[in-house]
Structure formats: structure tokens, C-alpha cells
Amino acid sequence: MASQRTFPGAKLTFVALLVSIGGAFNFGYQLVITNPSQDAFLRFLNGSLVAHYGADLSTVELENVWSVIVAILFVGAIFGSLHIRFVAERFGRLKGLIGSFVLSTLFLVLSLISYFVDSIELYTVSRAVLGYTYGLIIGLSGLYLAESSPKSCRGFVSMATGVSVQLGTVVGSVIAMPNVFGTEHLWWCIYAAEALGLVVVSIPLVFAHDSPSYLCHKGEEDAARRAVKFFHACGPDEVDEVLREMKEHVNEEEKTVGMLEVLEDKVARRGTLVGSVITLAMAFSGMPVVDAFAVDILLNCGMDINAASYGNLLLTIVSVVAIVGSSFVVERFGRRSLLLGSIVAIILTNVAVFALMLAFDLLQYPWIGFTLIAAIALFIMFFATGPGPLCYFVTAELVGQRARSAAQSWNTLIQMISRAIILAAYLPMKNAIGGSFAYLILFVAPMIFAELVIYFYLPETKNRNVKQIQEAIKDLPRIQCRSRR
């Protein structure tokens, strides 16, 4: 049966590729472009402040201001995530995505214009609005792909989001290198390239179908039937079977719920909260800092700018290789086992990264920087097989149709708040207590908490609908609380 195939059909694959390149790929691209090109952006920041305000800041002061500007992408994304449900239900998953792509393109153009008018203010505003669009895109794309895919290959298709984020970090790391476009006079080309790519992927999506679940929920049965046939690549009998199951869920869940209402429903609340913890594990794993400040970390461990830039590029390549490999194991081993195993490994590698950073501070041995690259590469491999890609779609699997857009809004909101806090705090913490202790404080204890929550509260979701997932909760380990007599 087509609905039982392990791998998606050609049409679903093509749409998933377009959605992922336009959304997750560009999100990953934005995560890293300020990393190898940080010196160029600091010069732009300093020049703009001097020209507009006569303020000539020290390097530490510039870094602290720049840290906030980097983080403002995720402040914008926080507001974007709050509108996921509204956009998803009002305009549909697909139209919402296309509209977000158009808005992103407009503000990418404003970002490159800020270079020519020497305006850090315009750059900051455009970065905040770009964050808003990415907050929408990440939530909508996860929702769209999860609802459009057959259960048997839902994990494989949804992994396209995680793969594309990491692939975007590779391309961004290359383009933003000082010997490519990451210079004081060429950084605007980084944004021009992204804007052009968004235009290219947006055009074919205009002719795609919205998700079958959404169309069925809206009562558009003919459109839903065409969408099932398109995405599931199945015959008329199987289309009827898929639609029948969708209608059952629609009848059981007549009305969609908002972000506050989702917390009042026991089943939806549990799925939303557990999914949010997985997202916290992604954010507090250390990956946001590696994405944004890996070059700075390597520079502080004795490397020159070229070695640090190439080291950063190597790390992004490792992440792509690891996450592509994980796409083939996620359906074999399931979500729960991958998360539990990878988070333990991340905790251990984060302790190793802390130890190496501290060792360089104390001993100043040049070889420590290269050892640190190996440790971070190992960390990235574990990240890419666990919370990195899984955080984008497990929440959508844990809740029903009526709560899915609201739950995905919470998931994206938590991700963006966490990223904003981490990126705004890391450089000031590094300057205050040292990079090694900043890394230890931010990225070890939260991961231990996430491991415990996932162990006791996350059932396996592979190839299961919401009812089957609720049944699986009964088999989870329980916290034993003994009362004294």
C-alpha cells in the first residue's frame, strides 16, 4: 500500500524540499551568517554609531551591543510564533508559508540596503522583522509537512526541516567567510543571495496543495481528496480510507483551540509541554552558541581567523552529514530512544567542551583549539541525531488536529525565547566570568532536566496516531513517591 511506504513519493518529496529550502534552510543560514563575518559587522556597527551619534565604543562594548542585535532575530521570532495559529487557521498552512516567504524577501532587501545607507538602525529593524517571519515559517512548515505526510514516512519527511536547518548553516558559513562575502564591503551580498533563493522556491509553491488535514477540517472534501492523492500517491480506495480517518478526528475535535485554551485540555497540555521540553533541550544543548559564536570560541582558544573560519565550516559540514544519517534511523529507532541516548551524549560532550576551554585559559597550549573542534564535532553529531531535528515535529505528533497549530505556536515560541536569552547572555557572560564557565552554566544543568522529563513523560510516537500515543503513555516509567507513615 502507498500509505505504508517508508519513503515519500516524488511529489511530496519535491514540496518538502521547496518548503524546507524556503524556511528551515534560510533559518539555518541566518543562524550562522553573523558568525564568521562578525568582525565585518562590528566594523559596520562601530562606523554607523560614530557617524550617527559620535559614539566610539570599546571592543567589549561593541560585542555586548552586537550580542543584543544578534539576539533580536529571535525576539522578532517570538512575536512570529505567537501568530502561527492565527495565520495557520485564517489563511491555511500553505498560503501562510508563501506570505511569510514574501515578507522575508522584502526585509532581506532592507537588510542589504542598510549597508548602502550606513544604518545600523535599519539593519536592526529588518533583522527583527526577519525573525518574525522565521518564527512563522518554522512553525507553519513543521505543521504543513507533518499533516501532509502519510504516518509511515511522517518522520522521514519532517526530518527535512532539521536537515535543511543544518544545510543552511553550511552554506551560510561558507558565504559569510572573510575570504568570500564576510567582509566590511561585501556582507550585503550575503542577504542578496538569500533573497534571490527565496524568490526561486516561492514560485512553484503557489501551485501546490494545502495540507489534507486542514482542508478536511475546513470542510473542503474535494480539495482534501486531491491533496491526499497528491501527497500520499495512493489510489481511490486508499484516498477514501485516509479521508475517513481524518474525518473521524475532525468529528471528535470540532473546534480549534488557542494558545491558552490548549493548556486547559489535559491531553493537549501534556503533548505541548513535553514537546516544549524537547525544544528547550535543543536550545540549551549549546547549539545556538556554536551556530552564532563558534568562530569567537575558537579564536579564544588560540586559533587565527582563517583557521577558526575553516574550523567553523568543518563543524557545519559534520552537522549536515550527521543529520542526513539520522533521517534514515529516525523511523527505525523511534523518537524516544534517539532523544534519550543523544541527550546523555550531549551532556558528556558539553562537559568535555567546558574542560577544554578551561584548560586553554589555564595552560595556553595551541593544540587545545584543534581538540576543541573534535569535541564540538562529536557534540554536533549527537545533537543532529536527537533534539536538533526532532524538536521541529514531535509536538505536532503528540497532539490532535484541533490543538496542533496552538501547540506548534508554543513550541516555536519556546525555541525563540530560549535562543534570544542564550544569544543575548552568552557574550556578556563570557566577558564577565570566562567562556568556559558561561558554557558550563548554560548548557549542562538544563540538559539533565530535559533528559529526566523525556524519560518519564515522552511515549514513542513513531507510526502512531494520537489515540495510540495516549495508550503508550500507560507503559512509561513512573516516578515513585513514597509517603512516610
Are the CB atoms for 383 and 319 separated by under 8 Å?
yes
Q: Where are the alpha helices (DSSP H) in 83-187?
A: 84-90, 93-116, 120-148, 154-175
Which pLDDT tens digit goes with each residue over 389-441? 888 889 888 998 778 888 888 988 898 899 889 988 898 899 899 999 999 99
Higher pLDDT pick, 349 / 427:
349
Question: Residue 232 corresponds to which amino acid?
Answer: H
User: pLDDT value at position 1?
Assistant: 45
pLDDT in tens, 181-192: 999 999 999 999
Residue the block writes with cell 543584543? 68
Q: How many CB atoms lie within 10 A of CB 36?
A: 29
Distances from the Cα of 310 to the Cα of 80, 176, 299, 313, angstroms: 33, 11, 12, 5
DSSP annotation of 61:
H
Dihedral of alpha carbons 61, 63, 64, 69, sign: positive
User: Which letter does DSSP use for residue 207 in this model?
Assistant: T
Answering whether pTM is above 0.95, one says no
- 378 Cβ partners below 8 Å, 6+ apart? 349, 352
Average predicted confidence (pLDDT) for the chain: 88
Question: What does the pLDDT read at residue 424?
Answer: 85
Q: What domains can you pick out in the chain, each with its CATH number?
A: 11-208 (1.20.1250.20), 260-476 (1.20.1250.20)
Return the pLDDT at 140.
92
C-alpha cell at 276: 516544549
How many other CB atoms are found less than 10 A from the CB of residue 406?
25
Q: Kindly tell me if the per-residue pLDDT of 174 is higher than 60.
A: yes
Q: What are the backbone dihedrals phi and psi of residue 163, each rounded to the nearest 5 degrees, phi first?
A: -60, -45
- What is residue 387's predicted lDDT score, i.e. its pLDDT? 92
Q: Report CA 268 to chain centroid distance, whole Å.
A: 22
Rg of the chain in Å (alpha carbons): 22
Region 130-138: what's the mean pLDDT?
Answer: 93
Spatial separation of the C-alpha atoms in residues 213 and 367, rounded to whole Å: 54
